[in-house]
Chains A and B, each alone.
Chain A
Amino acid sequence: MRAFWKANQLKLAPWLFLAPGIFMFALYVILPVFQSLDISFYAWDGLGEKEYVGLDNYVELMDDEAFYTALQNNIIWLVLYMLAVPAGLFVALFLNQTVRGIRIYKSLFFFPFVISQVVVGLVFSWFYDPTNGLMNVLLNAIGFDSIAVLADERFVTYGIIVAGLWPQTAYCMILYLTGLNSVDPEQIEAGRLDNAKGWRMLWYIILPQLRPATFIAVVVTVIGALRSFDLISIMTSGGPWGSSRVLAYYMYEQAFSEYGFRMGYGAAIAVVLFLIMMVYIAGFLYKMYRDERGH
C-alpha cells in the first residue's frame, strides 16, 4: 500500500484534491442533465405515475407557437444584450480619468449591478407605467402618445432587454476599468510617436490590450442573456399573452408555475435550451483549450 502510494503519489495527489469538486459537479450538474433528458421522455405531473411517451414531448414542442416565440426572444436577447459590451467599454473610457472624486462616480456607475435584479425590474416597470411612468410623462411632455411598453407585444421584449442592459453595462464597465489599469503606457507613448490618436489609437493600441477583458465581458454577457429570467418574471410574467417569454421562463412555467406541472414537457424545453447553450459552451471550451496550448 505504502509502496504503491510512494510510486504513484504525484499522479494520485491531483485527483485526490479534485475529488470533492468532481463529486459535487457530477452530483449537481452532470447527473441532473441526464435526469432531465430522462424525464423529457415521460408525461409526468410531478406527483402521480410517470408515463413513458417517447419523443412525444419533442414532437409537441416542434408544433408549439409559444416555443418559437420563446426561442425567437432568446435570440433577440443574445444579440441585443451584446450591446452591454461596447456600452460598458465607452463608460469605462469615459470614467478612466483622474478627476477629483472619480471614485465616487465610478461606484455610482457600478451601482445598478449591485442592486438586485428584482429591484431593477420593479424600477423599470414603474418607469414604463402607461399612466404615471416617467417615460410616458416625458413622451407626453414633448407631444407624443403614451406607449404601454410592457403591455404591447411589439415592444415588450426590447423593453425588458433595456432594463437588463442597465446593470449589465455596469458589469462590463467594471471589467474594462480594471483592464484599462493594465494598459501599457509605453505602448501608448509609442503610438503617439507614430501619430495615432482618437479612434485609431483605441482600435489598434488600446483594444488589443483589452482582449482578456473583452473576452470575459462577452462570456458574462452571453450567460446573462441566457439566464434572463428574473426580469421577465418580475416585469411581465412572460406576458402579454406569452409574448415576452424566453426558453428558461417557458420551461419554468410549464414545469413549476401555478398552472404548469408538466415536468416532461418542461424537461424537453430544458434539453433544447441545454443544446443551444452547448454550442456556445463548446466554442468557449475550444478557445480555452487552444489558448492553454499556446495557439
Chain B
Amino acid sequence: MKNKNNLFKQSLATLALATLFSSSAFAGKLVINTDTSDPAPKKAFEDVISGFEAENPDVQVTLNLFDHEGYKTSIRNFLTAEAPDLATWYAGNRMLPYVNAGLFEPVDDVWEENGLNKSLASAAASMTIDGKKWGVPYTYYQWGVYYRKDLFAANDIAVPTNWAEFKAAGAKLTAAGITPITIGTKYLWTAAGVFDYLNLRTNGYDFHMALTKGEVSWTDERVVNTMNNWKELVDAGFFLENHAAYSWQEALAPMVQGKAAMYVMGNFAVAPLRDAGLTKDQLGFFQFPEITPGIEMAEDAPTDTLHIPANAKNKVDAKKFLAYLARADVQTQMNETLGQLPINSASVAGDDEFLQAGFKMLSKTSQVAQFFDRDAPAEMAKAGMEGFQEFMVKPERLATILKRLEKVRNRVYK
C-alpha cells in the first residue's frame, strides 16, 4: 500500500513537471496564419520562418496555410474565435473592417523601435488608420502593360507612351487580326485594373483616391471622361471577345498563342506566361501610357502585410517576428523567392528584368494606389467592378451604370 502511494506521488510529480515544462515551451510558441497557398509564397514564408527560428531558438513557429480564396472568409472566423499570433492581410481600406472592429493590434512600437518609419516609409500611409500603424508590409508588386515584343516588332509598333500612340498601336494590331488587349473579367477584378489606370491617367491620383473614398460622385463629369476614354477602346475592339466568360488565367492563352498582344496586369502574370513558353524576346513590360498630359503617372501596386490580431496569445514574440520581417536583408531574400518587390528601402530588388522595370517605375512616384478593391470599401468595390464588366460589354449603358454606382455610394459611405 505504501509503495503504491509512493508511486502515485512520484507520477504526480512527473506530471507536474511535465505541465511546467510544456507551459514554458508554450511561452515561445508562435502561430502564423497565411494565405500563401501558391508554391512561391509558401516557400518564401517557410524560409522566413526558418531564418527567424535560427535567430530565436527559444521560439517555435507553427505555420497554418490557408487556401488563398478561402482565407478571405476564414480570417473573420479565426480573428474572433481562435486567433493566431500573426495573420497575413492587405494594406489600405481592405483592413479597415478589422481595425474598426478592434480585431487588429496597433504596432506603432514595432515601427518606432526598429526605425521602420524611415525604412518602410513608402508604405507608411497605406498602413495607417486613425494615426496608428496596424501591421508590417513585406512585399508589393507593380501593375502595368505586359506585351508581346515580337508581335509589336512584326507590326512595326513602338512602345506607346501616350494615349494617341496607344490607340494607334491598337489600330495596327486589330488591322493585323490581333486582339490588342486580352482580359478575362469572369471574376470581375481584372476590369478594375483597367479602370484604375484609365482613371489615374485621366484624372490623376488625388481624384482617384477621392473617388474610391466616396468623396466624389460617380456621375461626376471627370468619371464620365474616364469612361469615355474606355469607351474609345471598347468601340475600337481593343478587348478580347467574350471576356466575361474567362478567368484571368484563361485569358493568358490568347496572349501565349499570339492572338492577343497586351495584358493590363500585375507582375504575377509573368510567371505563368513564362511557364507557358514565352521567352525573353517575346515578353515585355511598359508603363501604362499617359492620357492627360502633365498629370503625374501614379501606379497601382498592391501591398501584402502581416498583422497581430488583438486576441493573439503571444504578442511579444509576434512583435519580434514583425521586426525580423521588416529587416532589409529578410525582405530582399523573401521577395527574391516571391518574385516581387521589397518594401524596405535598403533592400535590393531581384535582378529579374520585370522586377527591375517595376522597381524603376515605382521609385519615380510617391503616388501609389493599392488597387480598386483595396482602396474602395468592399461593397463599393463589388458594385463598381460589376459595373465595369457590364460597361465593357454594353458601353451604351454607361449612364445607367454610373447612376447605379452613385446609389451604392450614397448608401456605403454614410
- Closest chain B CB from A45 CB (angstroms): 6
The complex places the Cα of A288 from the Cα of B262 at a distance, in Å, of: 63
List, in ascending order, chain B residues with CB within 8 A of A151's CB. 186, 242-245, 393
CA distance A18 to B79 in the complex (A): 39
> Are A45 and B393 in touch, CB under 8 angstroms?
no
Q: Does B97 contact A (CB under 8 A)?
A: yes
Closest to A243 in B: B390
Most buried by A among B69, B242, B245: B245
Interface magnitude class on chain A: 20 to 34
A48 at the interface (CB under 8 A from B): yes
Instruction: Say whether A186 faces chain B, with CB atoms less than 8 Å apart.
Output: no
Pairwise interchain contact B72-A239, C-beta atoms closer than 8 A: no
Is the pair A258, B72 in contact by a Cβ cutoff of 8 Å?
yes
Residues from 342 to 397 in B contacting A, C-beta threshold 8 Å: 373, 378-379, 381-382, 386-387, 389-390, 393
Chain A residue contacts of B72, Cβ below 8 A: 258
Q: Which applies to chain B's interface (DSSP): helix, strand, loop or mixed?
A: helix
- Tell me if B378 and A47 are in contact (CB < 8 A): no
Chain B nearest CB: distance from A206 CB in Å?
43
Interface string of A44-56 (1 = CB under 8 A from B): 0111100000000
A237 touches B411 (CB 8 A): no
Least CB distance from B262 to A in Å reads 19
CA–CA, A261 and B69, complex, Å: 15
Query: Is A189 on the interface with B (CB-CB < 8 A)?
Result: no
The interface residues of chain A lying within 8 Å CB-to-CB of B69 are: 258
Determine if B100 and A48 form an interchain contact, defined as CB atoms under 8 angstroms apart: yes
Contact with A along B245-261 (1 / 0, CB 8 A): 10000000000000000
CB neighbours of A148 from chain B (8 A): 241-242, 244-245
* Chain B hits for A65, CB < 8 A: 404
Contacts of B404 in A (CB 8 A): 65
A47 vs B79: C-alpha distance when bound (angstroms): 10
Which chain B residue has the least Cβ–Cβ distance from A256? Answer: B73
The 0/1 profile, CB within 8 Å of B marked 1, for residues 236-272 of chain A is 1101111000000000010011111110000000000
- A237 near B187 with CB under 8 A, answer yes
| Total cross-chain contacts (CB, 8 A) | 74
B80–A47 contact, CB under 8 A? yes
Known contacts A240-B390, A241-B390, A129 near B187 by CB under 8 Å? no
Whether B101 and A262, one on each chain, are in contact in the complex, defined by CB atoms closer than 8 angstroms, is no
Chain B, residue nearest A261 (CB): B378
Contact A130 B242 (CB under 8 A): yes
B80 contacts across to A, CB distance below 8 A? 47
Among B69, B186, B187, B387, the most chain A Cβ lie within 10 Å of the Cβ of B186
Among A45, A236, A237, A258, which residue has the most Cβ atoms of chain B within 10 A? A258
Q: Can you name the residue of chain A whose Cβ is closest to the Cβ of B391?
A: A241
Q: Which residues of B contact A128 (CB under 8 A)?
A: 245
Report the Cα distance A151→B244, complex, angstroms: 5
Q: Could you list which residues of chain B lie within 8 angstroms of chain A, going by C-beta atoms?
A: 69, 72-73, 76, 79-80, 97-98, 100-101, 103, 185-188, 241-245, 373, 378-379, 381-382, 386-387, 389-390, 393, 404, 411
Given contacts A45-B97, A46-B76, A261-B97, 10 further A-B contacts (CB under 8 A): A47-B103, A131-B242, A151-B186, A239-B186, A240-B390, A242-B386, A256-B73, A258-B72, A259-B379, A261-B378
16 interchain pairs (CB within 8 A)?
A46-B76, A47-B103, A48-B97, A130-B241, A148-B241, A148-B245, A150-B244, A150-B245, A151-B242, A237-B187, A240-B185, A241-B393, A256-B73, A259-B373, A261-B97, A261-B378
